[in-house]
Amino acid sequence: MNEEEKYRTSKFLSLVLRHKPEEIGLPLDVNGWADVDELISRCAVAGKRFSAQELEEIVATNDKKRFAYNSDKSKIRASQGHSIDVELQLEVKEPPELLFHGTVEKFLPAIKSQGLLKMKRQHVHLSRDRATAEKVGERRGEAIILIVRSDEMNQDGFVFYQSANGVWLTDHVPAKYIDF
Ligand code: HQG
């Protein structure tokens, strides 16, 4: 499998493991896990063919470590980013003093009045460094970086989680904790 094929397969895996498992009739359990053999066979029926070994390579080399196996590698799930309702059983974790969020200009008026909302996903996504937030924002145009005073939020009782691949997650960031 070349880099382009790996990239396209990883995009497809994000689609079925985070957003639309029904597109290929893939059952996910309440914690978001799919059976690896079933994933491979259902993807093949949908015209996306890859072997168990190729899947392992995609999981291992994915730039953001988006997917994770269970201990015996019989199951796989996305580590974060879901729009479907899954219980990832994330551990509550104390955040660093500041976290970053990359967005674009057109969302600023709404963010200034409502704060950061989770929109279609299950959490608001925050990055631990500015460079990562730049990449997130650039998906939509010229990135605007917002600085979130996460330690202050935490002291005020807001809960933070960190996904298996290092993304910081929370339910809502009120505007008063954001430096624009
Ligand atoms: C914006 C990718 C209006 C928010 C990335 C963002 C990340 C508001 C968009 C992960 C708003 C939601 C998540 C408000 C927030 N009014 N707009 N009140 N509050 N927004 O894609 O953080 O490559 O759901 O600024 O790298 O951009 O898929 O969230 O622009 O880690 O693994 O609404 O997705 O990861 O967009 O990105 P998203 P996000 P993957």
Instruction: Write the pLDDT tens digit of every residue in 153-173.
Output: 999 999 999 998 999 999 999
| Block residue for tokens 């974790």 | 93
For atom 13 of ligand 1, the residue with the nearest CA is 125
DSSP class of 64:
T
Cα of 58 vs centre of ligand 1, distance in Å, is: 24
Query: Per-residue pLDDT averaged across 41-59, rounded?
Result: 97
pLDDT tens string 74-133: 999 999 999 999 999 898 999 999 999 999 999 999 999 999 999 999 999 999 999 999
Taking residues 131-146, report their average pLDDT: 97
Q: Which atom of ligand 1 sits closest to the CA of residue 116?
A: 19
- E strands present in 36-167: 67-69, 75-78, 99-103, 124-126, 144-148, 161-162
Supply the residue whose CA is at minimum distance from atom 22 of ligand 1.
125
User: Ligand 1: distance of its center to the CA of 125 in Å?
Assistant: 7
Average pLDDT of the segment spanning 33-42? 98
**Which atom, in ligand 1's list, is nearest to the CA of 139?**
27
Q: Which residues line ligand 1 (CB under 6 A)?
A: 64, 66, 81, 103, 107, 110-111, 114, 116-117, 119-121, 125, 136, 140, 167
Per-residue pLDDT tens for 60-86?
999 899 999 999 999 999 999 999 999
Q: Residue 170: which of 111, 94, 114, 104 has the closest Cα?
A: 94
